[in-house]
Structure 1
Amino acid sequence: MIESLVVLARLVQYAGTAMLFGAPLFYLYGLPADGPGAARTSAGTKGLVVVAGLLTAIGCGLALLAQTAMMTGALADALDPQALVMVATGTQFGVSVITRATASLAALAVAATLRPSTNLWRASAGLGAVALASFAWSGHGADGEGAAGLFKLSADILHLLAAGVWLGALAALLLLVLGVRQAEAAAVRALHGALEGFSGVGSVVVATLVLTGLINSWFLVGPDHLLAAATTAWGAVLLAKLCVFALMLSLAALNRFVLTPRLQRALASLDPASALAALRRSLLVESAAGLSVLILVSWLGTLAPPASL
């Protein structure tokens, strides 16, 4: 029961922080600032920031309860104020969670005071980056010491931010494509421009994820455990994550090289219905795969990596 709560808390936090960072960042580089079809100024985009902030704050609360229950050995003791304060202020994990909670509450305050605009997206993305990077101090990434530990921590932070760019943009794109109607030519053009805007960024994101993933795996598996890693629960979950990641790569390539050009041709013929339907299906499957990756990563964080065995 306690372990399930830990996984749930991680999942909610990962989803919230990824959207809090990646979605407003996407609005900055992927959408037009003004003009017809400028989805950046819509209430839906601001709503995504609010949902992300709420998810992160709720996940932080669950994380503190779960960690307190793990340390005390009983779920009922998780509500003990003294134990909660001890975990929140006396552990590295607690400080990390409090940092995320503070950033998420600040993002909610910013969203409550600013209209959908560049200022809101910049502030939200900055706070989201802080919240997302703070995970590096609550997991295996902060275990090392010296220059090697700093290198490992830096790779972990870059991995987290790159994942946030992809997943946050995916959430924003899904919101856009589900809200676009066939007759709204300006909105369809804005969607096509958003897809084009993400295509270049996506290549950098994938390269960063692969490189930092290899670095993190080297530290977590260790050269002496490479062959035995697949026989551990940690290795099996990692393999499942890599398979789903490969599916996401395939879908992203389909979107970039097939469906986005198809949408452009459909715009020229003024009949984008089938192209929009195909794009919706692809983004829905990619989003489901992204959620699956987050579930597996949340589970992975509760298992001991081979290097620690």
Structure 2
Amino acid sequence: MIETSVVLLRGLQYGAAVVLLGTPLFLLYGYSPGRGVAGPTGARRLIAGAALAVALFSLAGLVAQTAVMAGSLAEALKPASLGFMIGDTALGMAFVSRAAAALIVLILFSLVPSGRVLWGLAALGGLVVVASFAWTGHGASTEGPGRLIHLGADIVHAVAAALWLGALAGFALLLARPRAPAPTHRALRDFAGVGTLAVALLVATGLINSGYLIGPERLGSLFTSLYGQLLLLKLALFAAMIAIAAGNRWRLTPALGAALAAGGDTAPALARLRRSVLVEAAVGAAILLVVSLMGTLAPPAAL
């Protein structure tokens, strides 16, 4: 039961963290006053809610992880157990740092008006939150000269995922109540470069991480170990996301552009884009859940 809670809390932290970093970044490069790309009010609520969720789920995750190490929830709630986890392990410090960064972002939302300054500050806080996951994952367990390379690849991998998935949250806001089809089309079209960058970073850092966690000599374990099977599932879901994103870029977005150019009804094109973005986001959420489970398993290289 406690182990299941660890996985679920990890997944909830991942989901909130990608919004906390990726959505403010989307607003920075895709939103400007007058373009109607995303309503600041809806974005403000979404990002603030993500910050609150990160803080709460991180603290709950700290308790759950302490319970796994201490043997029971009752032991985990003792000050001595929590104190040891926070003060003597990088894992505990990562949980606390994550929660603190999210709370700082939440405080900023009560002090700073919506706009580029707030989005930039939120993105900085989100960067701290996302980077902290490297110290609660397999990257932190690597020793020797490759430690910094693996840790760095883990951080870049997480940031690239947030860049993509957080943008999907921004597009969901945008497509829920589009103020004008033309700015919506422009935002979708302009995301092509950012999306390509995210995919390239995910592939490159994924290969680096796999080299440390599996290695070419253990490729057979992809089919025989639970970790390997989950990795294959993750790759299949990732390929599905790329296919959906390609459909958005090469078919649905041009269809919206054609409707705009012809002066016709854009509602059907917007509805198709809305459904596609929601499906893409759902597949992304499934990937985060798979990654959450993989984080609790020993990779083949550690066996």
Q: Which category describes the TM-score, using the shorter chain as reference length?
A: over 0.9
Q: Establish whether residue 39 from structure 1 lines up as the match of residue 21 from structure 2.
A: no
Q: 1:306 Cα shift?
A: 0.3
**Relative to 1, partners in 2 of residues 1:305 and 1:38: Cα closer, same or farther, differing over 3 Å?**
closer
Q: CA deviation at 1:145?
A: 2.9
Output the TM-score relative to the length of structure 2: 0.96
Q: Report SS of the residue matched to 1:303.
A: coil
User: What is the letter of the counterpart of residue 128 of structure 2?
Assistant: V
Q: Which runs of 4+ in 1 moved over 3 A?
A: none
Aligned-residue RMSD, C-alpha: 1.3
CA distance in structure 2 between the aligned counterparts of 1:305 and 1:178, rounded to whole angstroms: 40
Per the alignment, residue 235 of structure 2 pairs with 242
Q: Select which of 270, 277, 281 maps to 2:275.
A: 281
Q: 1:210 aligns with which of 203, 214, 223?
A: 203
Give CA deviations for 1:118-167 in whole Å, capped at 9, x if unaligned.
Answer: 00010000110111011111111012234311111111111010001001
Q: Which residue of 2 aligns with 1:143?
A: 141
Contact 2:172/2:277, CA 8 A, preserved across alignment: yes
The answer to whether the aligner puts 1:223 opposite 2:216 as a matched pair is yes
- 2:245 corresponding residue in structure 1: 252
> What amino acid is the match of 1:167?
L
Aligned ranges 1:55-94 → 2 under 5 Å:
55-94=53-92
What amino acid maps onto 1:51 in structure 2? G
Which amino acid in 1 is paired with 2:256? L
* Equivalences for residues 289-304 of structure 1 within 5 A: 289-304=283-298
From 111, 116, 126, give the equivalent of 2:124.
126
Letter in 2 for 1:70: V
User: Shift of the alpha carbon at 1:228?
Assistant: 2.3
Whole-Å separation in 2 of the counterparts to 1:165 and 1:228: 31
Equivalent position amino acid for 2:8 in 1: L
**1:262 paired to 2:255:** yes
Residue of structure 2 in register with 1:97 after alignment = 95
Q: Against the structure 1 CA distance between its residues 227 and 265, is the aligned structure 2 distance closer, same or farther, given a 3 Å change threshold?
A: same
Q: Which amino acid aligns with 1:173?
A: F
Per-residue CA shift, 1:23-52, capped at 9, x if unaligned?
A: 000101112x21152535x21011111111
* In 2: Cα distance, 1:304 partner to 1:22 partner: 29
Post-superposition CA distance 1:215-246 (Å, at most 9, x none): 10110002331112320000111111111111
CA separation in 2, counterparts of 1:241 and 1:27?
Answer: 28
Does 291-300 or 195-204 show the bigger shift? 195-204
CA distance in 1, matches of 2:278, 2:216: 38
Unmatched runs of 5 consecutive residues or more in structure 1: none
**Aligned counterpart, 1:191:** 184
Letter matched to residue 219 of structure 2: L
**Counterpart amino acid of residue 189 in structure 1:** A
Cα deviation for residue 83 of structure 1 reads 1.2
Q: Distance between the aligned counterparts of 2:44 and 2:142, measured in 1?
A: 39
Rounded to whole Å, the distance in 1 between the matches of 2:113 and 2:264 is 33
Match of 2:28 in 1: 28
Q: How does 1:157-168 map to 2 (within 5 A)?
A: 157-168=155-166
**TM-score normalized by structure 1?**
0.95
